[in-house]
Homo-oligomer: A and B are copies of this chain.
């Protein structure tokens, strides 16, 4: 951030009065520009003993498999965002069952929220951000080709919970060192 979104003058980094963190503050109008974590909302679409995964067409981790998920938008609920991403990435019709896994990832300032969902039919296909979309039973999951650790963890929980028939909501802080560019 270099310029004030309110008046167009240059911003400087300083700690505002009553605050304890460096913020971008306008040198002219003094508007404080806060930057905060983003929410990624997604679905774990389930069809019988299979789950739906998308092969990513875009970076990061193009070519790897993921659950449909993306940035929550202003004005939508987390569950609505999860269903929207499922439609966009997999052209899939799903219905929310329950919130399932949450992960706080401070190194990238993101919070992931995955919902268990029922895949309502087999009329799905790759959306613009996917190379492929497919159903996988537990023994077919490409564990070494999943896109992100939160995908591995959500699927591990799911297949373990499925054997017990109970799906408690699970939360974890995942603190990794920031990857070097």
Contact = CB atoms under 8 A, between A and B. Distances in A.
B3 A75 contact: no
A135 to B, nearest CB: 26
A163 interface: no
Contacts of A169: 99, 168-169, 171
Contact of A8 (B3, B72, B80, B113): B3
| Max chain B C-beta neighbours (<10 A), residue from A3, A18, A79, A128 | A3
Interface residues of A, number: 45
A175 interface: yes
A1 B173 CA distance: 33
A37 interface: yes
Given A36-B39, A39-B111, A169-B169, 17 more contacts: A2-B5, A8-B10, A18-B128, A35-B74, A36-B72, A39-B39, A72-B111, A74-B109, A77-B175, A78-B102, A78-B111, A78-B173, A79-B104, A99-B102, A99-B169, A111-B113, A168-B169
A33 interface: yes
A145 interface: no
A77 B103 CA distance: 9
Interface string A25-50: 00000000111111100000000000
| Max chain B C-beta neighbours (<10 A), residue from A35, A168, A173 | A173
